[in-house]
Structure 1
Amino acid sequence: MVSGWLPAMDLVGTAAFALSGPLVAMRKRLDLFGLVVLALTTALGGGILRALILGNTPPEAFRSPLSLVVALAAASAALFLPRGPEGGKGLFLLCDAVGLGAFTVEGALVCLRLGQTSAVPVLFMACLTGVGGGMIRDLLVREIPFVLRREVYATASLAGGGLFLLLLPLTGEVAAAFLAFGSVVALRLSSLALGLRLPMARRLLRRGFPS
């Protein structure tokens, strides 16, 4: 179990992602059980995947009930939030961006504290923790995950993880973490506001290959 202020970052990401799950569930007209499933998988999925890959088992979500309680509380709160004319799309994107930023930083920090200090595993775990829960959420409702679209999503997470590693020896852990968190959220939201998208790969045109 990690100590210090890191659990606060985990709870921010848990609450934000747990809010995004029910907003998708209501848009898809799922029942109450489906709403809870989306809330929990979105909030806890990335951290569980990270823990299994790093061998940090059982995952923190299974060792402490706090994350589960926060996720359920956030899911319940989502039922009473005003969603607006677009079904809460703006709130969903905001919550998803905050969760992405918080879990990106948490993934990098946990990886470092478990002894994985080289850049490749840290960046991989930062990105996996950030996008994992949302990816599971989208697959469950039969949508293409943000990470596989032209969205600035996984790239925002990787940029935040890289910034964290660059700032860590210069500013210390706390400042680097919060600056990286802010950069992920700002990059994700600004890309949405400005309509920025990643370039599309050229199609492979082959005879008989379905379009």
Structure 2
Amino acid sequence: MVDFSFEIDGFISILDYLGTVAFAVTGASKAIAHNADIFGIIVLASVVGVAGGITRDVVFGRFPTAFSDPIYISLTVSAGVVMFFLYSKLKKQMGTWLVFDAVGLGVFSIIGASIAYQIVGLNFLPMLFAGVLTAIGGGILRDVFVREIPIVFVKEVYAVASVVGIVVFYAILSSGVDPQISSVIGIAVVTGIRLLAMKFNWNLPKVRES
């Protein structure tokens, strides 16, 4: 008999690794754009890659996975080193780091919601809180570290994409669909909305100065 819970845990771990790499790439790219040396690149890649997950785990009373599993830091350090050597080639591809950011946003949104689902069951508010916190925590720190206003507060549809994807994920789970399928759909929704927002310059309403 197949241990279904083991399959889910393994699937979530793979997604978590993917999101960690995606966000680490955005952190490294931002550090390079601000003329950081290789140490600064690796530090920012690591902070952005694991900050959201660490915050989520602490809030839910869990020992941070990033501290107990050396793979996470290995991935962020590797991403920083690779970006140090390949950034000049990668930046020629329009919006490369933004695409990685969109993927990271999607993966971490659903990862956070999935972990809350494992802990508290099918409870919408904890799932939403955990998902959004995991998704935007690293990005906020990334922008603060380089003295920029966090993108989540000022530009395009960012956190809203995370919220919509988590709502879709919750709704599909509630209908009895397999968690893995629900996760893939949720990630696709968040990433898709974020990419469309960048392409068509979608923004939330702001106060107009008279």
Same fold per TM (> 0.5)?
A: yes
Give the distance between the partners of 1:82 and 1:38, measured in 2 at CA.
15
5+ residue gaps, structure 2, are: 1-5
Provide the aligned length of Structure 1 versus Structure 2: 203
Q: What is the TM-score when the length of structure 1 is the normalising length?
A: 0.90
Instruction: Give the structure-2-normalised TM-score.
Output: 0.90
Distance change in 2, residues 1:166/1:29 (3 Å): same
1:137 is aligned to 142
Match of 1:160 among 137, 146, 165: 165
Deviation at 1:83, TM superposition (A): 4.2
Q: Structure 1's 186 and 43: CA in aligned 2 closer, same or farther, altered over 3 A?
A: same
Letter of the structure 1 residue corresponding to residue 187 of structure 2: F
Q: Per-residue deviation at 1:197?
A: 0.7
Contact 2:21/2:49 (<8 A) preserved:
yes
Q: 1:196 is matched with which residue?
A: 202
3-state SS of the aligned residue for 1:80? helix
- The residue aligned with 1:26 is 32
Quote the Cα distance in structure 1 between the aligned partners of 2:196 and 2:41: 29
**Is 2:179 aligned against 1:173?**
yes
Residue 10 of structure 2 corresponds to 4
Q: Against the structure 1 CA distance between its residues 106 and 35, is the aligned structure 2 distance closer, same or farther, given a 3 Å change threshold? A: same
Identity percentage of aligned residues: 34
Q: Distance in 2 between matches of 1:24 and 1:74?
A: 13
Partner residue of 1:50?
56
- Is 2:116 the counterpart of 1:111? yes
Uncovered stretches (5+) of structure 1, i.e. residues with no partner? 206-211
Aligned partner (choices 99, 102, 107) of residue 102 of structure 1: 107
Letter in 2 for 1:122: M
- Report how far residue 76 of structure 1 moved: 1.5
Distance 2:16 2:187 in 1: 12
Provide the alpha-carbon RMSD of the alignment.
2.0
| Equivalent-residue separation in structure 2 for 1:196 and 1:98 (angstroms) | 18
